């Protein structure tokens, strides 16, 4: 793939600091596919129906995660309480299409996420692959 036309053609350094900024605050949806629903239930050692009833709500062809009144993810308790089984949408942040659609938007995201600029360099090809794997 010719990635030279992307503003991130030289790659982007990123390592999550697990600060929780992207899991808290402003309300949003977090798409959880059906396989992820089962994985989260298993991880929490609860029935799938109990998970759906207490932590999820229907969204698109599957579910999204409930939030507290302040917009925080219901699973955010001094860090992500389902980190090993967190949904693909969370795993792929900040490399979402909506964040990388242009440099101006990316500059905004950089101000919100302290992990950007730290850690290893993700190549443009890797970033494109992550974008393609993200449900958002
Ligand atoms: S805002 Fe960035 S550094 Fe903080 S938890 Fe989210 S991805 Fe990690």
pLDDT in tens, 76-92: 999 999 999 999 999 99
Residue 40 is assigned to a structural domain of this protein = yes
State the total domains in the chain: 1
Residue 128 is assigned to a structural domain of this protein = yes
Residue of the nearest CA to atom 4 in ligand 1? 19
Atom of ligand 1 nearest to the CA of 17: 3
Structural domain range at position 111: 12-133
Residue 4 is assigned to a structural domain of this protein = no
Residue 3 is assigned to a structural domain of this protein = no
Residue 1 is assigned to a structural domain of this protein = no
Q: Mark the ranges of the chain whose per-residue pLDDT is less than 50.
A: none
Strands 120-122 and 56-59, how do they pair? unpaired
Helices (H), 1-136: 34-44, 48-55, 88-92, 97-100, 103-112, 124-133
Residue 99 is assigned to a structural domain of this protein = yes
Q: Which of 94, 110, 119 to mutate to test the pocket of ligand 1 (most atoms within 8 A of CB)?
A: 94
pLDDT in tens, 24-46: 998 899 999 999 999 999 999 99
- Cβ of 91 closer than 6 Å to ligand 1, yes or no, is no
The pLDDT, as a whole number, for residue 134 is 95
> Taking all residues of the chain, what is their mean pLDDT, rounded to a whole number?
96
Residue 98 is assigned to a structural domain of this protein = yes
């Amino acid at each position: 793939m010719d990635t030279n036309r992307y503003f991130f053609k030289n790659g982007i350094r990123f390592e999550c600091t697990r600060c929780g900024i992207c899991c808290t605050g402003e309300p949003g949806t977090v798409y959880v596919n059906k396989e992820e629903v089962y994985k989260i239930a298993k991880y929490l050692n609860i029935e799938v129906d109990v998970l759906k009833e207490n932590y999820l709500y229907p969204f698109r062809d599957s579910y999204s995660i409930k939030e507290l009144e302040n917009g925080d993810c219901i699973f955010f308790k001094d860090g992500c309480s389902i980190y090993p089984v967190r949904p693909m949408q969370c795993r792929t942040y900040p490399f979402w299409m909506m964040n990388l659609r242009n440099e101006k938007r990316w500059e905004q995201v950089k101000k919100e996420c302290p992990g950007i600029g730290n850690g290893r360099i993700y190549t443009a090809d890797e970033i494109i692959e992550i974008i393609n794997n993200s449900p958002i």
